Amino acid sequence: MSILVVTGTGAGVGKTVVTAAVAALARGRGSAVAVVKPAQTGVAPGHPGDLDAVIRLAGVTTTFELCRFAEPLSPAAAARAAGMPPVPMAGAARLVRELAESNRLVVVEGTGGLLDRYDEDGATIADLARSLSAQVLVVAGTGRGAVNQAALTLEALAHRGLDLAGLVIGRWPDEPGIVARSNVADLEMLAARPLAGALPEGAGALGREAFAEVARHGLAPTLGGTFDPAAFRHQVR
């Protein structure tokens, strides 16, 4: 059994698509997979959330969303704005441990970045990962500021003694400019290892079969794919 926490350098970097890609590859190998989203923010009740995208793209049906808040804020702030209780992080940890007993892989998708607050005590997805002894997969962007955001995330990760599963670019543009291309080498230097993947912009709009193929080519062998970071670097020079 294995637990993987997926976080990002911020919002909108492609965490959900990366989560779906990891789940799709594990499911394709015949592994039992569960996906947990402790907090969905910015989506009203009754509307499709991140787990709906994971189900559609990966075909995983064992999914759990613990809390949903309509405002596009951090989980703690969104709960406060809604006048609702915050995310029960201890309960989230118990659920993940229970799921890990019957599933080969449990993927936990965070909200926002590594240190976004989930409750008024300041609990974060980093705290959840530490309590679960889980590896953390970091999803990065490619625009201006991406390197600084990745550096801060990786520094916070190391400071908390968390194990980095890899750094993945969540939305690689069809026509990368000089900023995106130059960021690739810097991101690898920060992670002190080759990229663990790069998924193309728009992958989340694909059908399930096409998405599985994109996931295979876009994630490294450690995540079940065939992504070659050296070939990718050569391609984007």
User: Is 37 marked active-site?
Assistant: yes
Structure tokens at 208: 């399930």
What are residue 104's phi and psi, to 5 degrees?
A: -65, -35
d(CA 170, CA 189): 18
d(CA 31, CA 116): 31
Cα angle, residue 12 at apex, residues 40 and 90 outer, rounded to 5°: 35
HEC string of 92-156 equals: HHHHHHHHHHHCCEEEEEEEEECCCCCCCCCCCHHHHHHHHCCEEEEEECCCCCHHHHHHHHHHH
DSSP letters of 176-205? Answer: --HHHHHHHHHHHHHHTS--SEEEETTGGG
Instruction: Kindly state the DSSP code that residue 219 receives in the 8-state scheme.
Output: B
Instruction: Kindly state the DSSP code that residue 61 receives in the 8-state scheme.
Output: -
Q: Catalytic: which of 37, 68, 117, 171?
A: 37
Strand-pair partners of 179:
none
Strand arrangement, sheet containing 62-69: 62-69, 33-41, 105-113, 2-8, 135-140, 163-172, 197-200
Task: State the catalytic residues.
Answer: 37
